[in-house]
Each structure stands twice: as structure tokens, then as C-alpha cells.
Amino acid sequence: MSASAVFVLDLKGKVLICRNYKGDVDMAEIDHFMPLLMIHEEEGLLCPVLSHGSVHFMWIKHSNLYLVATTNKNSNASLVYSFLYKIVEVFTEYFKELEEESIQDNFVVVYELLDELMDFGFPQTTDSKILQEYITQEGAKLEVAKSKVPTTVTNAVSWRSEGIRYKKNEVFIDVIESINVLVNANGSVMSSDIVGSIKLKTMLSGMPELRLGLNDRVLFALTGRDKGKTVVMEDVKFHQCVRLSRFDSDRTISFIPPDGESELMSYRINTHVKPLIWIESVIEKFSHSRVEIMVKVIQRKMKYRQFKKQSVANNVEVRVPVPSDADSPKFKTSTGNAKYVPEKNLVVWTIKSFPGGKEFLMRAHFGLPSVENNELEGKPPITVKFEIPYFTVSGIQVRYMKIIEKSGYQALPWVRYITQSGGKLLTQH
Amino acid sequence: MPYLGGDDAVRELRRALSNPNVQSDPLRYRNTILKVIRSMSQGVDVSGLFSEMVKACATVDIVQKKLVYVFLCSYAALNPELSLLVINTLRKDCQDPNPMVPHHTRYPPLVEYVEQPLTAGLRDRAACVRRVAILGWAKLYNLQPTSEIDASVVNELYSLLRDPDPVVIVNCLRALEEILKEEGGVAINKPITHHLLNRLKECDVWGQCDILRVLQRYKPQSDDELFDILSLLDASLVSPHPPVMAATLSLFLHLCPDLPAVSQAALERVRGPLLAACGSASREMRFTALCHIQLLLRSLPGLMGAHYKRFFCGYAEPAYIKQRKMQVLVELVNDENVVMLLDELKGYCTDVNADTAQAAISAIGRIGRSYSDRCLEILTGLLGLKQDHITSAVVQTMRDLVWVCPQCSDTVCVALEGCEETLQDSQGRQALLWLLGVYGERVSSAPYTLEVFIDGVRSEASLGVKMELLTTAMRLFLCRPAETQDMLGRLLHYCIEEETDMCVRDQALLYYRLLHCGIEETRKVLHGPRSDPSLGVLIGRPAEPISQWASSFNTLEPLRQVAVETESVSRGSPEHVTTDLSVTLSGCRVHDVRSGDLSPSPALSPEEFERLWLQRQEDFVRLEERVRCPAVPHCSPQSLQAAMQLLNIQTLAFTPPHALPWRVYLYTHTQHTHSEDTLCRTLILGELLLKVTLQQQPRDDEALRGFLSILTSVLHTLTPESE
């Protein structure tokens, strides 16, 4: 691994906080980082690794911060990046929002976290659930710190503390699927995939043992049942609590859940998805005078598997790019309302509730200045955001959730399905 | 807090720290220490406060203690004398029954005095103390690498490899690696290896990666053991965490360098996870994955062929990812996907980012080496946009393409007309000049274009353009003397009399004197090759053995290395690009029919080839021969084509790689001089399908045999050495 030091810089390259882990790289080397970044950006050779002499800077950018790891060894790049992203993840969990202000307001906690996350250039405790037991200070609030040893430090189950109690034992399961569809100007689907995740909100006492059943095709084939709709998942990733050996042998997802909210698993399904919401657009640009835009949105008719009812998409947002020098917008919509966002060069058309099988139309008219903008502009795609509750595109279903705890209490699992857009794209003409 | 200069701030803090009122109020005391740490984090030198901070260490407040130790760890090395003051507290803290106290001390590096608490720390009941103490030894050693490390400590650390806590194990491994650096790191023997492998699953991602890396040094004692290890690691190979997957693959490649089949199977197995990493949410991870895929493709060009769509660029991706993706796409092109691929690349050519657009254009040029017609059509179309950066990139690309595929020159010559008006940058103009010089007789407007350049030479800033201009003017003079003579005279006069740059002046003088030697001499010097078939090897490098890159896999190197490579290839006139790859194939030339005796021209169209192939019964000599080259179907068609072109054998059609039955059609002409005056020309048609079928017209047995021996030696060269 060997990261020598980790820095958090603001956008100007000023060091907000740093931690020297190994001491084999001069801490002043960071002064070269920002100039290097600028030079490379100008030349179009920007790259996540920058080097100055024998020192390499591996950096990521998060909101208005740069997180930089320095090293003078040929270290493992993917590991360093994962670690930097882990830092972001942990900090975000602590401060809700990771940005310059939150670092400055909480620098002591940041210091402590940096200290726990890594020692001598090697990552140590990086699970935020456990860290929260080590480092309990919250911002400026000064409380007398726990002098009790966190149980998780020596616990066999590192992600869950013992002795959790709830009056009412419940688990909420959210199945969330984002669909990504790329459609080109001719209307043919270039690529499509579904990224799904199963999120848990656990409110269970003690050390419960959970088992989750899905309509996973591999499992059905394994047990000889091959009826009904099944789903083939790819790139399945589990939370560390899931016993992978059991999943590998008999596809059972069994685990002791972390308390509170967590992501149990994520998966990708690489199938051909018909776009749920279809867009047709005509954009006519008359140089020096005006742009006319006509956009039609159509929602495919879908029946819920569970209920015989039409689907409804909520919070549909169609973002149509317009030239940066457009002015005097005029809109006409058959439903919802359209708004011009000049700083992003977009028209945003929002429809609160969009029943299946319907179609809506928006017309927009913009003026263009007579003196034309010489700068070359890209043709950004039209994007659509939406959310369809009680529905999953892939047809994945939670078949059961068994909860076993030695005290033998009854617990209720709740399941909810949501499909949302992960960024549906349409290239323009 | 009002802004204070560094010194003032330190003075202020010192006053506050030594104020008894502050010291008696725990909240205020802690706040003051917070301020010290804040100043430290902002880079203010607060080392002057050392003695005050040492006092603050003696407290029961664990938060304060933690903060003070953060301070002490940073400054202890600078203040060895004052550090002595802290020893007592430190020793007391290290024996504190609450394991959190020694955990937070983190053992500041106070050489002699910290050893004893460290030794005690190794045996502490709490895992968190052991974790810190172990790395404490590594830090201590790092501070004074010359000192002899106590053998008993090393033994203790070795025994801690059996600790129940996984982080302790991994930290031990890390510490031993550091301490025993001189001896080549921790000793990896069979029991340790097996123990670590068994505990692998318990460790977190970071730990797994470190263990897998250390195990690379292990040499399994038998094949059985090796395969046991490999099957144990199989699950990690498809791990959803890219670092673990990469570390496992790296270990696989190190464990079985002598078993190419196993390595290859491993590479195919990681294809899925690698592709997933290419689509990961973090752009840095995507970039890393792409760089590593480029490495893999060097040995297994066909690995990702079917998944080319995964490498299409997203609209919002940063330029460095787009450029890498295009480089990968170029490697993946085959008969089936070429249309889609070119369509996609064409879209990138008009990207707002000029670098991305130029990269896309040069990618099309690279594909043009195998699919020239389609690509030239796109490139010519792009010239119509009249955008200066696009035109420049297209002209440069055409220059590079023509150098490798001279058959494209007709189309290029037509396309060149009129594009000098949009060219702005020196690179593009240089490329245009080179093309005019080499194909001047076929571009009707060449002298006029050149005249514009020559008239503007006074205001020309670029040295490269001036040099190129001189050469072009000379070359054009040789083929169109009447139109060029006058302007060449003017140019030479200017360059010799008025030019201040020595290089240009010398070059001009050289040409001037050369002209004095007569036109034939000049022609000899200036008419170099118009194209270099040996460069064809660049189209598809022959598959490299995995060992070539295995050691740099999963490090920083691939991320940096490839970036440098692409820069050097894409710039400069083709004549300056040299390649040593041709050496690998030069061994084929020693047979009685030398490759120089073969020639791909006059060209055969596919239809004509088919007609000739089918009418074989009548007037063709037919020869069938089995050649044993099992690996050839695995090498990319481009590299085969390149190799064949090098020997003047034209390949006409392929089945895609990995398709069965795999076949290739090829043809060539032989010019075999039997004696001084008779020149026999024959046409050889061939089909490669594990066996070679050759047809020849007219009959010339010797030439046919010679051709066959060349062909087999090419095929054997393409077969990896391990086979």
C-alpha cells in the first residue's frame, strides 16, 4: 500500500489538514501539487497520478476539496484510490457533507479519524460503524469520552455491538433499481443496464441471524425449481456481514445485520431494457435568430406484478440542453412546468405525477443573438430523471426474510420497491 | 480567533497553556490544546510548545490525552531531550488497564525509552494495543535503520502472525517487511503461507491485498500444492473489490510463470470483474482498470473483443478516461464490430475538448491500418467541417496512415486539396508539407500550396515547419521542376542569406550543395522510402509473453507508462519513428526465396481472388501442407497481417479470432530471378486453415517451396516462445 502522507487541500491548493504517516516524503512536496495540476490541465494531460521527481501524487476531488496521497514507491494504485474514497465515505458519515467548511469545523475529529484509518502508511480500521465507537466526539460538543472499551474492537462480529435493544423489532428492506439507458439520435438503444441495491434499516434487538430469499435464477436452477420469473444478477457485492461461503455453496444470503441503515448488497443486471420513459425531440436551430424545441415524453404502459394497477412515475424531470447564448425563453407545456436554468444552459421540465400510457408535450422557444458565439459547443444529451414506486424493472423480488434471534422475539420485515433513473441519455442530432 | 502571525500565535498559546486558571478548568484547557493542534494542522510550527504540551499529557481526560499524543508523535523526533519528560507519563499510560489509553498513545518514537512499553504492548490482552505496538516497532526501526534489531522482537513478531486478530496478523506482516527489508522481507515458507491463506478470508480488503502481495514471493514445492493454492484463491480472483481481484491476479501470475495456460485462464476469469471495475462509480478506479486492461491486451488481444461496447465513452467522462478508452477500442476492433466502433469514434471527433477530438481522429487512423476504406471515408468527411484542430489532426493521421498503408495514398492525395486554408498549428502544417513532398506529383495544386508557404516563410515561427518546407520544396522540385524551380531558388536564398537559425541555414546549404552535385545524386539522397512496411508491425504488436508486464501489474507503473508511450508515437514525421520490433521477424529472411522477392502488387481485389481461387483446377498448381502452429488462431488478425505485410504477403480475409474453424486467405507475387536475364513472375494464392493450401500460377516449384518456408517461419515467429 505505502502511502506516505495524506493531505486534504482546498481548491486553491492550500493544505487544510495533513497527516504524515511514514515520513519518507518531504511534507513540503505538496506545494508542487497544485502547479502540476494546473500545467497538466492546460495541456489536456490531466491524469489521476501526477509526479514531481520521485514523488507521486495520487489524488481525487470531492466537492471543493482535493484529497491527495503522496508516495515515493511504486505502490498499488487501485488500493490507494480505494483508500481515498474510503476516507471520503467515512468523513461523509461523520459530517454529513464533506467540504472545506466541515473539515475546518471538525479538524480534531478529522485528525483522530486520519489516525485511526491509517497507521504508518497502512490502512487500519476503516469501517465507519466501528470508528464511530472509537471516536465519539461530535464537532464542538465536548462530552466526556467513553472510557469503556468498545466491544467491537475485540468482538467476533465487528460490525454490530452487543446489547442493542428495541421495543418494537422491525426490518425495512428497500429494493432500489436505477436504470441506465443510452439511446442515440436514431432512437436505437445503444446500451442499457440496471444497477440495483438492497438497503436495510434494521431495528432489531440482540444478535439476530437473518436470511434473505430472492428469486435468483441460479438458486432456482440449483434447487430444481425453474418456474416463475427469475433474475440473473451480475457483479453482486455484499456487505461484509454476509457469509460469502454460504452464498457460494447454496446461494443463501445469511448474515447478522449491522444496526441501523446499511447497504446489504448491490448488483448489476445487464439485460436489454426497454426505456420506461421514451423521449422524442425536435430541436431546430435557426442561426442568429432562434431555437425551437419540441419534446414529447411517453411512458410505457406497465402493469404491476403484485397489483393490477397502472404504474405512475413521480417527480419526472426532463433536462433539455440549450445553447449558452440563448435568451428570452418561452414555454408551453401540456402538463407540469418548465423552467430555464441559465447557469446550466438547461430547460428543466418537471412533471410531478406521470401515469403510464400517457404522453405529454413541451414546446420551448428561445431567441439567439445576432452575433454568433464562436466557441464550439458540445451537444450534451437530453436526460430524464424519474422514480417509479412499487416496481422493479428486473422483476427481482424478496421472497422471504427470516429473522432468528435466541430470545425468540417476533419481528416484522417490510419491503419496498423503487425504480429510478440512473441517468437516461439521449444523444442529439 | 483573530489572525496572528505564526510567532504571535505560538506566544499566545504558550501563555494560555501555562496559565494556572486555564489548567484548572478542564474545558478551557482542552480548548487551548485544540487550538494548538489546529495551528499545527495549518502548518504553523508549534514545536516550541513542546514542554507545555508534555505537562498537558498528565491528565485523566482521554480526549485531551489523545490530542497531546497526536502532537507528541509529530514533534518527538525533533526534541529528543525534552521528550524525556514525557517518558514517565508514557510508561504509566502504557500500563493503563483501559486498553484505549495505550491504544491512543501510538508510541511516539522516543528511541531507547519506548522499547520496553512496546515489548509489553506486543503482549497486551487487547488487540487494539497489539496492533499499534507492532507498527510501533516498524516506526522505531524506520527511525534508526542502522541499529541492530533485537532478534527476540523479530521472533515475537513472527509468533504474532498466529494472533487471533486479523489486523494484528497483517500488521505483523507489514512490520516484518519493513524491519527485514535488508534481508528481502519476511521469510515466506510453507507453514506461514498456508496459515496466511487460511486466515485470508477474515481480513479486510487492505489486509487481503497486503497478504496476497507478500505471498508473491512464495515458491510452491509441488504442482499439487500450487493447484491447491490456486483453487483456494479462486474466489478472491472474482472478488467484487477491484484491489483484491487485482492482487489475486498478480499473485496468480507470479506463482505460475511456467504455466501459460493457467495464467491465461486466470486472465479470462478476471475479465468480468475487470469490466465491472471499468464501470465503477469512481473515475480514478475506472482509469486504473483501463490502464490494467491495456496491459492484459498486450498479451491477450482477443480478451475483451466481444465487450467493446463497455469501452464507449460517456458524455461527462474526463478526457483522460476517454483517451484510454479509445486506445482500448483500437485494440478491440474486428470484422464484426468495426462498423459500430467507427460510428462511435466518429461521434467523438467533434468533442468539445480538442485533445479528445484529436485522440479520436488518431484512433480512427490506427484502425485505418486494417480497415482503410471505411476510415478514410470518415477522415475525409471530417475535413469538410473546416475546424482547424480537426483538420490538423486528420492531416497528421493521414500522414501516419499513408506511411504504413501506401495503398491509401490516392484517397489522401485527393483529400489534401484545399485543406491548407484551415490548418493553423505547426504540427498539422508539417504533416501537410510532408505529404506534399512525398506525393507531390499526384496533388495537382501542390506547387501553389507550397508557394503560399514559401512566401510566408519570413513570418514563420516554427523551426519544424521551416525544415519540413525545405525538404518538401526539394522533393517537389525533383518531380515537378518547371513549376517549382523559381520558388525553390527563393526559399534557398532566404534560408541561406537571411535565416538566423543555424539548423535551417545548414539544411539549406546542404541542399544547395547537393543540387550542385547533379540531379541524380539529389534524387538518390532525397527519395527515401515512401512507406515503411516494417512499421506495419505497430498495427498489432505480436502478443507479448505475460512475464513482460507481470511484475508491474497492480502497481503505479501502468498508469504512468502508457501515457508516455502514446505521446511519443503520435508526434513527428514517420521517418523519425523507429521500431525495433522488425528485428523479431528479420530471421525469416534467410531462405532461398527472400521476402524481397515477394511483392503484394499488383493488388488483387477480393472478387478477383475468389474467381482465381475457384478456377484452380485448370491452370493452378496446388499444394497442401500441414503446419503445426496451434497458437496462431489466438493471435490477433492485425498482428498476423502486420507480420505478413512485413514479408510482402498480402492477407485478404480473416475469420474473427477464436472462431472455429479459423482461416485466412492471402496472396503474393514472386519475382524470382533464376539467372541474370529471365525474370519469372508467379502468383501465389493461399488459404490457411491449420493446414496451408497454396495455388500458384504459373508453375514454379522452387518459388512455391520458398514461399512455404517463409510462411511457416512467420507462423512460428507468431507462436509464443513458451509453446
Residue B634 has pLDDT above 60, yes or no: no
- A122 and B135 within 8 Å at the Cβ level: the answer is yes
Scanning B386-425 for CB atoms below 8 A from A yields 387
- A125 and B320 within 8 Å at the Cβ level: the answer is no
CA distance B399 to B405: 10
Q: Out of A374-383, B25-34, B463-472, B692-701, which region has the weakest mean confidence (pLDDT)?
A: B692-701
Range of the domain at A69: 5-154
Whether domain B598-718 has CATH 1.10.150.120: the reply is no
- A191 and B309 within 8 Å at the Cβ level: the answer is yes
Tell me the nearest-neighbour CA distance from B488 into chain A, angstroms.
Answer: 37
The better pLDDT of the pair B543, A170 is held by A170
Picking from B288, B310, B311 by the largest number of A CB atoms within 10 A of its own CB, the best residue to mutate is B288
Chain B contact set for A378 (CB, 8 A): 315, 351-352
Claim to verify: residue A175 and residue A262 sit in the same structural domain: yes
ipTM confidence = 0.72
Percent of chain B predicted with pLDDT > 70: 74
B2 contacts chain A (CB < 8 A): no
What angle (nearest 5°) sits at the alpha carbon of residue B209, between those of residues B208 and B213? Answer: 115
| pLDDT of res. B592 | 37
Claim to verify: residue A130 and residue A9 sit in the same structural domain: yes
Residue A292 has pLDDT above 80, yes or no: yes
Closest CA to A313 of A349, A355, A278: A355
DSSP-assigned letters across all residues of A257-323: PPSEEEEEEEEEE------SEEEEEEEEEETTTEEEEEEEEEEPP-B-SSSSSB-EEEEEEEEEE--
Size of interface A-B (CB pairs under 8 A): 189
Predicted TM-score (pTM) of the model is: 0.70
Residue A156 has pLDDT above 70, yes or no: no
Picking from A122, A136, A154, A157 by the largest number of B CB atoms within 10 A of its own CB, the best residue to mutate is A122
Single-letter amino acid, residue B293: I
- B347 and A427 within 8 Å at the Cβ level: the answer is yes
Beta strand B621-626 pairing with B691-697: antiparallel
B360 CB-side CA count, 13 A: 28
Report yes or no: B629 and B718 within 8 Å, Cβ to Cβ. Answer: yes
Question: In Å, how far are A87, A132, B16, B151, B530 from B166, measured between CA atoms?
Answer: 21, 20, 44, 24, 65
Cβ neighbours, 10 Å, residue B496 = 16
Q: What is the pLDDT of residues B409-434, one digit of tens each?
A: 888 888 888 788 888 888 899 999 99
In the structure, what pLDDT confidence band is assigned to residue B682 with cuts at 50, 70 and 90?
Answer: low
- B312 and A44 within 8 Å at the Cβ level: the answer is no
| pLDDT of res. A376 | 61
Q: Tell me whether residue A300 is in a domain.
A: yes
Name the residue among A74, A85, A147 with its Cβ closest to that of B555. A74
Residue B617 has pLDDT above 60, yes or no: no
- A79 and B243 within 8 Å at the Cβ level: the answer is yes
Chain A contact set for B43 (CB, 8 A): 15, 18
Claim to verify: residue A21 and residue A135 sit in the same structural domain: yes
Q: What is the pLDDT of residues B543-578, one digit of tens each?
A: 777 887 888 888 888 887 654 444 433 344 444 433
Residue A209 has pLDDT above 60, yes or no: yes
Claim to verify: residue A77 and residue A9 sit in the same structural domain: yes
Q: Tell me whether residue A139 is in a domain.
A: yes
Q: What is the pLDDT of residues B281-314, one digit of tens each?
A: 888 999 999 999 988 888 888 888 888 888 888 8
Q: Tell me whether residue A162 is in a domain.
A: no
Q: Out of A137-146, A235-244, A321-330, B673-682, which region has the weakest mean confidence (pLDDT)?
A: A137-146
- Average pLDDT for chain B: 78
The better pLDDT of the pair B373, B707 is held by B373
B3 contacts chain A (CB < 8 A): no
Chain B contact set for A237 (CB, 8 A): 240-241
Instruction: List the single residue in B with minimal CA-CA distance to A236.
Output: B240
Q: Tell me whether residue A159 is in a domain.
A: no
Residue A113 has pLDDT above 90, yes or no: no
What angle (nearest 5°) sits at the alpha carbon of residue A412, between those of residues A409 and A418? Answer: 155
Q: What is the pLDDT of residues A69-106, one digit of tens each?
A: 998 888 888 889 999 999 998 888 888 888 888 888 88
Cα Rg of chain A, angstroms? 26
Q: What are the residue boundaries of the structural domains of chain B, listed by start?
A: 598-718
Closest CA to A146 of B363, B415, B78, B100: B100
Picking from A20, A52, A67, A79 by the largest number of B CB atoms within 10 A of its own CB, the best residue to mutate is A79
Report yes or no: A215 and A396 within 8 Å, Cβ to Cβ. Answer: yes
Residue B650 has pLDDT above 60, yes or no: yes
Chain B contact set for A153 (CB, 8 A): 99, 126-128
Scanning B186-225 for CB atoms below 8 A from A yields 201, 204-206, 209-210, 213
**Average pLDDT, stretch B700-723?**
64
The better pLDDT of the pair A242, B584 is held by A242
Claim to verify: residue A143 and residue A185 sit in the same structural domain: no
- A122 and B284 within 8 Å at the Cβ level: the answer is no
Q: What is the pLDDT of residues B523-546, one digit of tens each?
A: 888 877 666 555 444 445 567 778
Percent of chain A predicted with pLDDT > 90: 8
Chain A contact set for B126 (CB, 8 A): 149, 153-154
Name the residue among B100, B206, B235 with its Cβ closest to that of A149. B100
Claim to verify: residue A260 and residue A321 sit in the same structural domain: no
The count of domains in chain A is 3
What angle (nearest 5°) sits at the alpha carbon of residue B351, between those of residues B346 and B353? Answer: 140
- B142 and A22 within 8 Å at the Cβ level: the answer is yes
- B552 and A234 within 8 Å at the Cβ level: the answer is no
Q: What is the pLDDT of residues B83-133, one digit of tens each?
A: 677 777 777 777 777 776 667 666 666 666 677 778 888 888 888 888 888
- A81 and B282 within 8 Å at the Cβ level: the answer is yes
| pLDDT of res. A25 | 84
| pLDDT of res. A17 | 86
| Cβ contacts of A286 within 8 Å, gap of 6 or more | A292, A368
Closest CA to B137 of B125, B127, B126, B152: B152
Claim to verify: residue A290 and residue A411 sit in the same structural domain: no
Q: What are phi and psi of B282, to 5 degrees?
A: -85, 130
A107 CB-side CA count, 13 A: 23
- A44 and B43 within 8 Å at the Cβ level: the answer is no
- B63 and A76 within 8 Å at the Cβ level: the answer is no
Residue A143 has pLDDT above 80, yes or no: no
| pLDDT of res. B538 | 44
Q: What is the pLDDT of residues A262-275, one digit of tens each?
A: 889 888 887 777 77
Instruction: List the single residue in B with minimal CA-CA distance to A149.
Output: B100
**B682 grid coordinates:** 508467379
Write down which residue in A123, A154, A185 finishes a domain.
Answer: A154
- B170 and A122 within 8 Å at the Cβ level: the answer is yes
| pLDDT of res. A137 | 54
Residue A289 has pLDDT above 90, yes or no: no
Name the residue among B241, B243, B315 with its Cβ closest to that of A381. B315
The better pLDDT of the pair B676, A23 is held by A23
Claim to verify: residue A254 and residue A311 sit in the same structural domain: no
Claim to verify: residue A143 and residue A84 sit in the same structural domain: yes
In the structure, what pLDDT confidence band is assigned to residue B590 with cuts at 50, 70 and 90?
Answer: very low
Segment holding B157, helix H or strand E = helix B151-160
- A149 and B98 within 8 Å at the Cβ level: the answer is yes
Tell me the nearest-neighbour CA distance from B634 into chain A, angstroms.
Answer: 27
Scanning B96-135 for CB atoms below 8 A from A yields 98-100, 106, 126-128, 131-132, 135
Determine the 3-state secondary structure of B294 from DSSP: helix
Tell me the nearest-neighbour CA distance from B201 into chain A, angstroms.
Answer: 9
Q: What is the pLDDT of residues B497-515, one digit of tens each?
A: 888 888 899 989 999 998 9
Q: What is the pLDDT of residues B157-211, one digit of tens each?
A: 899 888 888 889 999 999 888 888 888 888 888 889 999 998 888 888 899 999 9
Name the residue among B34, B41, B277 with its Cβ closest to that of A17. B41
CA distance B244 to B207: 9
Residue B646 has pLDDT above 70, yes or no: no
Name the residue among A77, A83, A108 with its Cβ closest to that of B34. A108
CATH code, domain with A324: 2.60.40.1170
| pLDDT of res. B544 | 77
- B557 and A1 within 8 Å at the Cβ level: the answer is no
Claim to verify: residue A174 and residue A140 sit in the same structural domain: no
Q: Out of A282-286, B75-79, B285-289, B619-623, which region has the weakest mean confidence (pLDDT)?
A: B619-623
Claim to verify: residue A401 and residue A333 sit in the same structural domain: no
Chain A contact set for B177 (CB, 8 A): none
Determine the 3-state secondary structure of B550 from DSSP: helix
Tell me the nearest-neighbour CA distance from B72 into chain A, angstroms.
Answer: 13
Instruction: List the single residue in B with minimal CA-CA distance to A78.
Output: B243
Claim to verify: residue A140 and residue A9 sit in the same structural domain: yes
Single-letter amino acid, residue B631: A
**B680 grid coordinates:** 519469372
How buried is residue B655: exposed, middle or buried, by Cβ count under 10 Å (0-12/13-18/19+)? middle
**A89 grid coordinates:** 465515505
Tell me the nearest-neighbour CA distance from A45 into chain B, angstroms.
Answer: 7
Chain B contact set for A119 (CB, 8 A): 106, 131-132, 135, 171
Chain B contact set for A60 (CB, 8 A): 282, 284
Tell me the nearest-neighbour CA distance from A109 into chain B, angstroms.
Answer: 10
- A81 and B135 within 8 Å at the Cβ level: the answer is no
| pLDDT of res. A424 | 52
Q: What is the pLDDT of residues B240-251, one digit of tens each?
A: 888 999 999 999
| pLDDT of res. B588 | 32
In the structure, what pLDDT confidence band is assigned to residue B677 with cuts at 50, 70 and 90?
Answer: very low
Beta strand A337-341 pairing with A382-389: unpaired
Q: What is the pLDDT of residues B94-107, one digit of tens each?
A: 777 777 666 766 66
Report yes or no: B22 and B36 within 8 Å, Cβ to Cβ. Answer: no
Q: What is the pLDDT of residues B395-411, one digit of tens each?
A: 999 988 888 788 888 88
CATH code, domain with A17: 3.30.450.60
**DSSP 8-state assignment for residue B661:** S
- B142 and A56 within 8 Å at the Cβ level: the answer is no
Single-letter amino acid, residue B640: L
Provide the H-helix boundaries in B300-371: 319-332, 338-348, 354-368
